[in-house]
Amino acid sequence: MIPEQTHEEIRKTGHRWIDISAAGCALVVSITSLFVAIHHGQSMERMAEANARLVEANSWPLLQR
């Protein structure tokens, strides 16, 4: 026997403006999260570079002895 396939429909509230505003809010949150993630990545890269310079600056006096 072949099982029946069920097709789930997208849930709607029945009020078009609520559906559109919910989708818009989700889009705004997603775009904001993307910008925050990109900014965080750039900040972490700058911090890694600063840490590398700090390690290099602290290592030079030990190498000259």
Using a cut of 0.75, tell me whether the model's pTM lies above it: no
pLDDT at 37: 98
Provide the residue type at 25 as one letter.
Answer: C
> Which residue bears the tokens 């069920």?
6
Is residue 65 pLDDT above 60, yes or no?
Answer: no
pLDDT at 30: 98
Is residue 55 pLDDT above 70, yes or no?
Answer: yes
d(Cα 45, Cα 4) in Å, to the nearest integer? 53
Contacts of 19 (CB under 8 A, 6+ apart): 12, 13
pLDDT exceeding 90 applies to what percent of the chain?
54
